[in-house]
Amino acid sequence: MFADAHIHLSDPELKSLLHQILLEAKATSKILIAVAVDAITSKLNLELEAKAGGTVRAFGGVHPWSAQSEDADSLRAVLDPSNLAGIGEVGLDRKYAKDEVEYKRQKEVFESMLKLAERLQKPLSIHSRSSVDDVLATLSTYNLRNVLLHWFAGTPQQLKEACERGYFISYGPSTVYSKKIQRLALSTPPTSILTETDGPVSFGAAFQNKPALPAFIPSVVYTLSTLHRLDFEDMRSIIFENTLRYLSLKNKGEGG
C-alpha cells in the first residue's frame, strides 16, 4: 500500500489520464488525496471521491493563486465543507501577490480556511513556498488537527520547528534527484514523512518530463528508505501508517 498525499486529480491536464490513474491506484491499493485550488475543483474532488470509493479522499480549499477572487464563502456556496476529508490546498505564496495589498488578501483567505479546518477538525494541506515563517506564525494561533506542509522547501530550522509541532512533511519526485530536498528529507523523522506527487507537475529528465503520476510514488519511497537506511518495506509501511494518522483513519490491516 502506498499513498499520494497531494495530487490535483481535478486538474484538466490529468483528465485524459484519470481513468488510468484510478485503475492503477485501486489495483495497487494506493490512497490518493485529491487537493483543490478553488470552489469548483473542490466540488469536482467530492464527485471523484464518490466514484472512486476509498481510493480517493477529497480535500477542498482556496489556493493562494485563487485568493484574490475566492474565499471560504465561495467554498460554502458550492458544497458542504463537512463532507470533505480535509482542507487544502491552502496557504501563502508571495509569487502570486503583486504587492502587499494582495499578500494581505492571501492572509485573510488563508485564515478563513484555517478557521474552517479548526471548526471541522479536518486535516490541512498547506502551501508555504517563500512564506514558511508567515505560515508557521499563522498556524500557531489555531487549534488544528493534522497539518501537512506539502512540498516543503524551507530551512533546516523551519523544518525542525514544524516537526516539533507534530506537523507532517511530504516529499515528492524531486527527492529522487535534488540534493537539497534529500538533506531536508534526511533531517525529517520517518514518523513525520508523507509522500506526494503534486501531479500534474512535471519533474524533469529523471521522470522524462511527464506529468507526475501516483505510479512515481514507489521511487520516492525507495529514495527515502535509502536516505534513512531503512528497508524499503519498513519505510513504505511507516509512510502508509503516517497517512492513515494524517487522515484519522484506522488501519484495517494491510492484507485486507
**Averaged pLDDT, 170-175:** 96
> Angle at CA 84, nearest 5°, toward 60 and 193?
75
Q: How far apart are CA 42 and CA 212, in angstroms?
A: 20
| Per-residue confidence (pLDDT) for residue 253, from 0 to 100 | 52
Whether a cis peptide bond, with omega within 30° of 0, leads into 196 is no
Please answer whether residues 91 and 110 qualify as being in contact, where contact means their C-beta atoms are separated by less than 8 angstroms: yes
Which are the contacts of 15, defined by CB distance < 8 A and separation ≥ 6? none
Give residue-wise pLDDT tens across range 9-18: 999 999 999 9
| Per-residue confidence (pLDDT) for residue 220, from 0 to 100 | 97
Pick the CATH number of 2-246 from 3.20.20.140, 3.30.460.80, 3.40.1210.10, 3.30.70.330: 3.20.20.140
- Give 133-168 as a DSSP string: HHHHHHHTTS--S-EEETT----HHHHHHHHHTT-E
Give residue-wise pLDDT tens across range 47-85: 999 999 789 999 999 999 999 999 999 999 999 999 999
Q: How far apart are CA 234 and CA 241, in angstroms?
A: 11
**Averaged pLDDT, 141-170:** 96
Confidence of residue 216 (pLDDT cuts 50, 70, 90): very high
Q: How far apart are CA 58 and CA 220, in angstroms?
A: 23
| Per-residue confidence (pLDDT) for residue 252, from 0 to 100 | 55
